[in-house]
Amino acid sequence: MRVFQNVEDLGNLRTALDEAFAIKKDRYQYQELGKNKTALLIFFNNSLRTRLSTQKAAMNLGMNVIVLDVNQGAWKLETERGVVMDGDKSEHLLEAIPVMASYCDVIGVRSFARFESREDDYNEVILNQFIKYSGRPVFFMESATVHPLQAFADLITIEEYKKKDRPKVVMTWAPHPKALPQAVPNSFAQWMNAADVDFVVTHPEGYELDPLFVGDARVEYDQMKAFEGADFVYAKNWSCPGVTRPNDYGKVLEDYHNFLDWTVSDRQMAVTNQAHFMHCLPVRRNMIVTDEVIEAPTSLVIPEAANREISATVVLKRILESL
Question: Per CB under 6 A, does 67 bind ligand CP?
Answer: no
**Least distance CB 283 / ligand CP (angstroms):** 9
Where are the alpha helices (H) located in the chain, listed in sequence order?
13-25, 49-60, 93-101, 118-122, 125-134, 148-161, 183-194, 211-214, 223-227, 266-269, 291-295, 301-321
**Least distance CB 188 / ligand CP (angstroms):** 11
* Contact (CB, 8 A) for 286 and 68: no
Per CB under 6 A, the segment of 11-19, 42-50, 84-92, 309-317 that binds ligand CP is 42-50
Residue 302 CA, distance from chain mean position: 16
Minimum CB distance to ligand CP smaller for 272 or for 299:
299
Question: Per CB under 6 A, does 186 bind ligand CP?
Answer: no
Question: Per CB under 6 A, does 22 bind ligand CP?
Answer: no
**Least distance CB 110 / ligand CP (angstroms):** 7
Minimum CB distance to ligand CP smaller for 142 or for 231:
142
DSSP 8-class letter at 86 = -
Rounded CA separation 136/108 (Å): 10
Question: Per CB under 6 A, does 236 bind ligand CP?
Answer: no
**Least distance CB 153 / ligand CP (angstroms):** 8
**Least distance CB 56 / ligand CP (angstroms):** 13
**Least distance CB 53 / ligand CP (angstroms):** 8
Per CB under 6 A, the segment of 43-51, 158-166, 168-176, 257-265 that binds ligand CP is 43-51
Question: Per CB under 6 A, does 57 bind ligand CP?
Answer: no
Q: Which of residues 262-301 bind ligand CP (CB under 6 A)?
A: 280-282
Long-range contacts of 239-245 (CB under 8 A, 24+ apart): 239/115, 239/179, 239/180, 239/181, 239/182, 240/206, 240/207, 241/182, 241/207, 241/208, 241/209, 241/210, 242/118, 243/208, 243/209, 243/210, 243/211, 244/205, 244/206, 244/208, 245/206
Cis peptide leading into residue 282 (ω within 30°):
yes
Judged by CB under 6 A, the number of residues near ligand CP is 9
3 state SS of 42: strand
Question: Per CB under 6 A, does 47 bind ligand CP?
Answer: yes
* Contact (CB, 8 A) for 253 and 243: no
Minimum CB distance to ligand CP smaller for 78 or for 108:
108
Question: Per CB under 6 A, does 54 bind ligand CP?
Answer: no
Minimum CB distance to ligand CP smaller for 43 or for 272:
43
The number of CA neighbours under 13 Å toward the Cβ of 84 is 1
Q: Which of residues 135-164 bind ligand CP (CB under 6 A)?
A: 142, 150
**Least distance CB 94 / ligand CP (angstroms):** 27
Rounded CA separation 16/315 (Å): 9
Question: Per CB under 6 A, does 239 bind ligand CP?
Answer: no
Minimum CB distance to ligand CP smaller for 152 or for 262:
152
Q: How far is the first Cα of the chain from the last one, in angstroms, to the nearest whole number?
A: 8
The footprint of ligand CP (CB under 6 A) covers 47-50, 142, 150, 280-282
